Each structure stands twice: as C-alpha cells, then as structure tokens.
Amino acid sequence: MPDNLHDSPVSSSGSKVGHRPSRNDAGPFRRGPFILAMALLFAVVPLLAGCEDESEPVVNVYSHRHYDTDEALFQQFTAETGIRVRVVSASADELIARLEREGAASPADVLITVDAGRLHRARTRGLLQPVESEVLQEVVPEHLRDPENFWFGLTQRIRVLAYARERVDPEEIQSYEALADGEWEGRVVARTSENIYNISHMASMVAALGQEAAEEWARGVVANFARPPQGNDTDQIRDVASGIGDVALVNSYYVGRLLNADDAASRELGERVGIIFPNQEDRGAHVNVSGIGVTAHAPNRDHAVRLIEFLVSEEAQRAFAEANFEYPVREGIDWAPTLRSWGTFRADDLELNRLGELNNEAVRIFDRAGWR
C-alpha cells in the first residue's frame, strides 16, 4: 500500500495553517518538480483502489487535525467496531485540492478540518455529500452544522482576548470592538490577515456590524498594532507576556495548552496572560469549529457516518475537551478543569455557514484596511 495513506497513528505533514482562498497553495509541489509530483499523484490513485482487502472494513480519513487525541479516538473506534481507520494528514488547503484532483477516484471517505469557512468551501466545490443521521441532528446544535447536513462541528473554538495580567485591567476591554479604541494604540498584537481564524472572525464582524462598520473596526485595529502582524496564536501570547503588546486575539485552547504543558516555561507563559470572553452584553464570543463531513465519492459511506457519530459520542467529546482544551459541541459534557476555571460565557450563535459565505468579503476588508 502507498506510504501516503497511513493507518492510525496519524502522521502530520506540519504544513502551515491558513491561506487566503484567492491564492494558490503550492503544497507538496514545493518538495519536488511539478511533473514528477503529478505523475506520482496519478499513480497513487489506482494503487489505493487496488490495495484494499475487501474482507476488512475500512474508513479513509483526510485530516487537517494533528492531535494525539484524534489518534487515540481512531484506535478506540477500530477496537469497538472492527473498522480500520486510515489517515492522510496535511493542511486543509492541500486536502481540498487533493480531493478536487482525485475526483470520483478518491479513496477518501471523510474530510476533517478546522474552520467552518473551509468546510463551506469544500461543500461549495462539490467535495462533500449530505448525511441523514438522527444521532448527528440530535447531538450537534443547528448553528454548528451545515444547514443541509453536508458537514458537522466536532469541537468549538472560542476567539478570546488574551491580555497582560500585570498591565491590563480586564474591565477596560470587554469587546472585540474595543480593540479599535485609541487607548490601545501601540498595544495590540495579531496574526496576519491570511490566517483563517482571522478571516472567519472578520466574517463574523461583518455579520454582526455590517460591511462598513467592520472595515472601520479593522482600520482602527491596524492603527493600534504594536508590531506588524506575524506568528501563530502562541506567538501572540508570548508577545503579550513579554511586553511587546498588551492584548491579542487568540483561540482559547492555545492558552489552555500552555497552562497544562509539561515544561515549566510554557506554564509560566500561560499564567502571565488572562483571557476575556468578549461581547458578553450582546452577541457573545466568536465561535468557530473543527468539523467533519463525508466526501462526495466516499467508497465506504456507511463506515464514514459511523465514525462521525462516534466522534460526537459522550466519550469522544469528553476526550476532546480534556486533552486539547477545546469546547465540546455536545451539551452536558464535563469541561476540563482549566476550562471550568475560566467560567461560563455567552457564545455567539451565528450560523457558521455565514463564515464561509462572507469569507471573500472579509479578505477584501483586510486588504482595504491595510491589515497585512
């Protein structure tokens, strides 16, 4: 069997997360000549089709997620069902491009990725199919899944404000809108506008405020930057802790992972920042998801649906919350102690397909506002 489709445990490609949809991603072609890469690609597809042992049930997963939790859950699924999980791990953009190239010959049964905007993109490109499942419709809240059940949220990711405990009174900044206020000039650090989390957050700002107000907000934030946008969420936390800036937009689970890291330096870094769930007096904190869908040409569709139903089970949802500090999509699941220590909060219940619908407008706003 070709070495690019692996049995669990998962092998991550380490690809960079987050690209604008309008730009081409060279993906694996960076590592070799284009012609050779294409030849290898078309050679792989028939080999995958021919190597399957029809007597052994299998589900083939294309996954952007790269966590030990997922590996353990796949292994548990196999132990409980006898269905073997095979994983291709790469960036979301690479996986979506691969599904488009493979077409009806794709061995993939399931696509797992982060960000509702990417899931919406996969649907609009005809790469997913709808799923009728009473389990999924009952467990996954309506706003955390596609309106026609082409994809379903697996975990919730909350966009919070991380602030320097030593320099910031959290009462001074209780909304995303406040990041554009003049008092924060030279105090805000952020990722680039190419980051998918920022793009989806901007889409949510457009949904909440309208295009003109969202652009005005973006210009105000740009004017308050402490340094040019760069780095990942952990870098934003590090720059706040070190005094380069005083506040940053980050996903909450990055702070949770630092607070629970094995090394003391990471734990100390996490302890030097506090988090704020913004907009608690109105729409609530911005929510995104990691999510999953059955591919349009899934050769093992029934197994794919069983895997998705397993991943929203109480046990799997608890594992996501405890091991990676993400919030479960299923109600009634105990949160990890770190999440409980942050308290309850109001979450924005915007239908997440809107993040995909407003994706291109969000990118244009970033360009006009000078958020590079």
Q: Is pLDDT above 50 for 38?
A: no
The mean pLDDT of 202-208, rounded to a whole number, is 98
Q: Is the dihedral of CA 166, 170, 172, 175 positive or negative?
A: positive
Phi first, then psi, for residue 6 (nearest 5°) are -110, 145
Q: What is the pLDDT of residue 323?
A: 87
Residue 190 contacts residue 184 (beta carbons within 8 Å): no
CA distances from 213 to 26, 44, 133, 177, 208 (A): 35, 49, 40, 10, 9
Residue 25: pLDDT band (50, 70, 90) is: very low
Residues whose CB falls within 8 Å of the CB of residue 296, separated by 6 or more in sequence, listed in order: 99, 126, 127, 128, 129
As a residue count, the chain comes to: 372
pLDDT at residue 24 above 70? Answer: no
- Are the C-beta atoms of 163 and 247 separated by less than 8 Å? yes
Same fold, 6-155+288-333 and 158-285+347-369: yes
Topology of domain 6-155+288-333 in CATH is: D-Maltodextrin-Binding Protein; domain 2 (3.40.190)
Q: What's the mean pLDDT in 243-260?
A: 97
Q: Is the pLDDT of residue 26 over 80?
A: no
The pLDDT-based confidence of 66 (bands split at 50, 70, 90) is confident
188 within 8 A of 104, measured Cβ to Cβ: no
CA 12 to chain centre: 15
Using 50, 70 and 90 to split pLDDT, how confident is the model at 21? very low
DSSP structure class, residue 145:
B
| Pick from 114, 102, 110: nearest CA to 83 | 110
Question: For the segment 125-176, what is each residue's pLDDT rounded down to a tens digit?
Answer: 999 999 999 999 999 999 999 999 999 999 999 999 999 999 999 999 999 9
Measuring CA to CA, which residue among 323, 314, 312, 300 is closest to residue 86?
A: 300
- 54 band by pLDDT with thresholds 50, 70 and 90: low
Fold observed for domain 158-285+347-369: D-Maltodextrin-Binding Protein; domain 2 (3.40.190)
Residue 240 in contact with residue 247, Cβ under 8 Å?
Answer: yes
- Specify the 3-state DSSP secondary structure of 346: coil
Judged against a pLDDT cut of 50, whether residue 34 lies above it is answered with no
Is-contact 253 163, C-beta < 8 A? no
Percentage of the chain lying above the pLDDT 90 cut: 83
Question: What is the C-alpha separation between 185 and 29, in angstroms, rounded?
Answer: 41
From the list 141, 145, 184, the residue with the least C-alpha distance to 161 is 184
pLDDT (mean) for 52-56:
62
Check if the beta carbon of residue 354 is closer than 8 Å to that of residue 203.
yes
The pLDDT of 251-266, averaged and rounded, is 97
Domain ranges of the chain: 6-155+288-333, 158-285+347-369
CA 125/CA 293 separation, integer angstroms: 13
Band (7; pLDDT cuts 50, 70, 90): low
Task: In whole angstroms, give the CA distance from residue 197 to residue 20.
Answer: 11
Which of 290, 357, 304 shows the shortest CA–CA distance to 130? 304
Mean pLDDT of the chain: 88
Contact 121, 356 (CB under 8 A): yes
Give the pLDDT score at 130. 98
Q: Coil, strand, or helix at residue 159?
A: strand
How confident is the model over 76-93, as a mean pLDDT? 97
